[in-house]
Chains A and B, each alone.
Chain A
Amino acid sequence: MHPSRRRLFLLTGLAALGAAAGVTGAQAIYNPPPAQNLEGVWLIEGEHSAIRTLDGRLPPLNPAAATRYAAAVKARQAGKPDFDTIQTCKPHGLPRILFAAYPIEILQEPQQVTFIHEIHHMPRMVYLDLTLPKLEDMDPNWMGQSAGHWEGDTLVVESQGFNDLTTLDSAGLPHSTDMRLSERIRKLDADRFDDLVTITDPKTYTKPWTTRVTYRRQPGLRLKEYVCTDVNPEAAAKPHR
């Protein structure tokens, strides 16, 4: 017998014994309804280093933000994107982490949908039982806080409470600490889902705008260990001891 089969056989035996002894071995695990079931590992489709609105335009930057953006683009072209905090292993923040070309694993519970991003092994908790605090009561951080609810088969997620150290994309679209995100996540078919991301940030953009990303299921894929060593390349290059 193949070792894994033998193990399974043993486990089945143990589970039967457990049941006989009144012990529940395998737990009752939540199974989301099929149309809401996003569990599994997914990978973004397409390339999203410079995000655009749904109609393919540059987002509606206000004049000050347009100046910052132009400087960022120039810095990137010159090979010195000092604005980009991911160079020193800081989190991508939202929404930028949504656009990363690394797999995402989604875990669903009745109270919570958890996104595990392979990049920087970053978790993102979307709480289905949380009312977001008022923005002025929040401590800004990299990933903000996310609260969600289901509208039919669409997971609607609101996020806020961001610091302003990240950019929305690799190109350098800026945002302020007032940014709010609204996402509508919906399965297109068994193997794809869509995230419609609306960005509202009156200090940076003249009006709210929306972009779209699509993810494809990666059957059998497991997240790999991602370790950001740029925080100390010297140490990374050396043996530990």
Chain B
Amino acid sequence: MIRMRWSLRGCLLGLGMLLAGAASAAPSDVVDGPLIRPATSSSDPGDLSGVWYIRLYNRQINSTLGRLPPFTAHGKAEWDARVQAEKEGSPIADASSYCWPHGVPRVMNSPYPIQIIQIPGETVIVHEVAHNIRHIYMDKPHPPVLTPGFMGDSTGHWEGDTLVIDTTGFNDRTWIDEVGVIHGRQLHVIERIRKIEGGLALENLVRIEDPEFFTEPWYARITYAWRPDLRLTEYICEENNRNMPVSGHTAKK
């Protein structure tokens, strides 16, 4: 099965824009192949295992405010710089442009399927995009000392039918969306994930906090469709990377 690999980072180019438009015409919640899993995910709200696919993907993350997040002056300046650079045709590159891990919550807002796997003590999310992997250790505190990383350190626990994931320990190389909402090392993300629509979808209510970039915590809401027909396919960013920034742009402030 070949799904078209449209690159939203490629949107920065006119050609990419056309491709993205063509591909997004196929909604991600339409089952279009033989079922390899039940048509609806299991009736157990604690069983999130299987393949899910984001709905209504937007390269600018969907803040529940219906407007831009509550930026600090610094956050606003960084946003403005990115929007302006893109307008000028010399976009600033984020980590994913170098094929590095996308970070959180960015990786949860990507137009590719994800697979959730639950084993005793751990929930793993395998992302088709650039084979990002999230390890969410259940019912454990964060390690006392964290080395800042792209994906941070995630702990999870259940509150009733909701999986709550707390992620911290980020470096400052990833972005929150693909437009210009970025973050620093103080980023703290809390996701509340639960099944909705009788198991046909997942809701992820994402709380984003970073006092360096936002005056107060804000939320994004992302939903994913149950896709009983999909297996993840191989996505190798390092092969024929269309988004590799031209040398020199990387240093742009």
Cβ of B95 to closest chain A Cβ, rounded Å: 7
Chain B CB within 8 A of A107 CB: yes
CA gap between A111 and B95 in the complex, in Å: 34
Residues of A in contact, count (CB < 8 Å): 58
B238 in contact with A240 (CB, 8 Å): no
B160, A90: Cβ atoms closer than 8 Å: no
Q: Is there contact, CB below 8 Å, between B234 and A121?
A: no
A residues 146-200 in Cβ contact with B at 8 Å: none
Report the count of interface residues on B (CB-CB < 8 A). 57
Which of A8, A11, A15, A240 is B173 in contact with, Cβ under 8 Å? A240
**Chain B contact residues, majority secondary structure:** loop
> Is the C-beta of B239 less than 8 angstroms from some C-beta in chain A?
yes
A61-116: which have CB < 8 Å to B?
88-91, 105, 107-109, 111-112, 114, 116
Chain A residues near B251 (CB, 8 Å)? 238
A-B contact count (CB 8 A): 138
- B160: chain A residues within 8 A (beta carbon): 14, 17-18, 21, 23, 25
Query: Does B197 lie at the interface of the complex (its beta carbon under 8 Å from any beta carbon of A)?
Result: no
Task: Say which residue of B94, B158, B173 sits within 8 Å of A26 (CB atoms).
Answer: B158
Over the window 117-135 of chain A, the binary record of Cβ atoms lying under 8 Å from chain B Cβ atoms (1 yes, 0 no) is 0001111010101100000
Q: How far is the CA of A139 from the CA of B234 in the complex (A)?
A: 11
- Is B205 close to A, CB under 8 A? no
CA distance A116 to B124 in the complex (A): 10
Out of B98, B182, B231, name the residue touching A232 (CB < 8 Å). Answer: B98
- The segment out of B7-15, B52-60, B131-139, B214-222 that lies at the interface is B131-139
By Cβ-Cβ distance, the 4 closest A-B pairs, closest first, are: A27-B46, A240-B173, A25-B158, A225-B149
